[in-house]
Homo-oligomer: A and B are copies of this chain.
Amino acid sequence: METRGAPTRLRGTPSWLINEVAVHATRLVNEGFAAVDARRYHYKLLATLEEFGPASQADLGRRGGVDRSDVVATVNELADRGFVERAVDPADRRRNIVTITDAGAAHLRHLDDVLARAQDTLLAPLSAADREDLVRMLSRLAEHHS
C-alpha cells in the first residue's frame, strides 16, 4: 500500500501534492546535510556570502529571507567551525561584517555535492525533459507569488 488510504480528493489536489513532495524534499536535504553536520541555514548563508561577497548580518538576512535573530545563531555556528569570520565594520560600528573563509568555501562546495545528490534522489522517477519542465513551471509559480 504505497499511496495509502489518503482520500482521493486530496491525492489529486495540487497544493496537497506539492506539500507532500516538499516534505520528502526537505527530509532528503536535511538528512544529507545532517550527515555532514550542517543545516539548511548554513547553506543559505554560505551561498549568499559567496555570491554577493561579505555583508552585514542584516543584509545577509534580507537577501536570504532569514530573520535577523536566526542569522545570529547561524553565524555563531558557522564561525565556531571556522567557515565565516565576524568583524566589526570600522565605518559603522553597529555592523558585523561577515566574510566567508577558504574553509567555508570548501565546505560550501561539499554541501553543493550533497544537495545535488538529494535532487537526484528526489527527481529519480522523472526524465531529464520532465525535470526541466518541472523546474520551469515551479519557477514561474514561485516568481508569480512574489
Chain A residues close to B by CB (< 8 Å):
2-15, 17-22, 24-26, 28-29, 44, 47-48, 51-52, 62-65, 112, 115, 118-119, 122-126, 130-131, 133-135, 137-146
B145 touches A24 (CB 8 A): yes
B15 touches A18 (CB 8 A): no
Count of this chain's copies in the oligomeric assembly: 2
Task: Provide a sorted-by-A list of 9 A–B residue pairs whose CB atoms are within 8 angstroms.
Answer: A5-B52, A5-B62, A7-B47, A9-B112, A12-B135, A15-B26, A18-B22, A126-B140, A134-B134
Please report the C-alpha to C-alpha distance between residue A146 and residue B21 in the assembled complex, in whole angstroms: 10
Please report the C-alpha to C-alpha distance between residue A145 and residue B130 in the assembled complex, in whole angstroms: 17
Q: How far is the CB of A108 from chain B (nearest CB, A)?
A: 9
